[in-house]
Structure 1
């Protein structure tokens, strides 16, 4: 349903489809940037841009002793509420970096880096 101001309301029949769409975005469709957010009571369709978005962040060169779901989630919470941990991170298949999707409040200064043991 077209709400206004470029916003649409979508209802999913399948919870897994909803979770996939929420956690794997943002998306580019026909060259247009599309972000998908769960509905909240404070959503304001008259606002031209959302104040909170879901963004993927990554932690390169994370020391192996920190490569733990709980620890990585706590680190991610320094940026924002963690939405999803990358499957490789979640399964502890250590790659080049850990990554996760977090809510980022665009009305606050962005966290560009987090120093660990530094």
Structure 2
């Protein structure tokens, strides 16, 4: 039902068409915060938003791109540079920015990029990079705060039972090429420095940090001979396995490895 909604925090909303709304903000900071904080969902369905340029008819704007933080997993040594991560982000969609914490000296299980992806196309799961020695390295993608999407065709916006490709191309009983593992929680759901036993991520923040054990002198040495109560904490991460039969279907990009060069102290330019 069409109408106008006027809340108290500086915006108005008007319905233009079914499933299409025009929202007017009265503060530049508010709209920047809303766009940067996405993706947003309602009932597990993605809200696709786009800033309207002056003079553009809002009813004619094509809404099919949404920004996501994407995690790049299993990136091999030699490719862990800002240039390579930027190229990978451009492969995923329209590159927006790279997480500044990627290069803050922390131990990385993955690297993050923010990209605008075409929600009318299947999500990209994997990518392979060719090394200098001719072998291939396989990397995986995980999308933060991913809304409802189809495990059969990989398109955001509908579930398996409503996939239009099942009746035309895909068999409903066939193995699903996509899964829940493609979506992960955002950085805000990860352990933070507010938890006393969790060290801050960056080197700068860790300089003045002390764990509770360091403060009170608790013995945290590894247990020996099966002694209980002092086992060291072990963290693990799951990687998506790749079948040789599907290697040819994974998109490939050829990038040169960036190896570190050692310069002798007595070397002359």
TM-score between both structures, scaled by the size of structure 2: 0.35
Residue 267 of structure 2 corresponds to: none
1:116 counterpart = 2:142: no
- Cα distance in 2, alignment partners of residues 76 and 8 from structure 1: 30
Residue 2 of structure 1 corresponds to: 14
Q: Over alpha carbons, which structure has the higher Rg?
A: 2
* Aligned residue-pair number: 114
Q: Which has the higher contact order (CA 8 A, sep 6+)?
A: 1
Which structure 2 segments of 5+ residues have no match?
Answer: 1-12, 131-135, 137-269
Residue 70 of structure 2 corresponds to: 57
Cα deviation, residue 27, structure 1: 2.8
Cα deviation, residue 3, structure 1: 3.9
The 1:94–1:13 alpha-carbon spacing in structure 2 relative to 1, beyond 3 Å, is farther
Alignment deviations for residues 25-44 of structure 1 (CA, whole Å, 9 cap, x no partner): 11357x56544432355864
> Counterpart of 1:89 in 2: which secondary structure?
helix
> What is the RMSD computed on CA atoms of the aligned residues?
3.1
- 1:21 aligned to 25, 34, 53, which one? 34
- Cα distance in 1, alignment partners of residues 100 and 76 from structure 2: 18
- Cα distance in 2, alignment partners of residues 37 and 54 from structure 1: 10
Structure with the largest fraction of strand? 1
- Cα distance in 1, alignment partners of residues 61 and 108 from structure 2: 42
Aligned 1:1-118 pairs, distance under 5 A: 1-4=13-16, 5-6=18-19, 7-11=21-25, 13-15=27-29, 17-28=30-41, 34-39=47-52, 41=56, 44=59, 50-89=63-102, 91=104, 93-117=106-130, 118=136
TM-score between both structures, scaled by the size of structure 1: 0.68
> Counterpart of 2:116 in 1: which secondary structure?
strand
> Counterpart of 1:77 in 2: which secondary structure?
helix
Which structure 1 segments of 5+ residues have no match?
Answer: none
Alignment deviations for residues 46-76 of structure 1 (CA, whole Å, 9 cap, x no partner): 97xx322222221112124322222211111
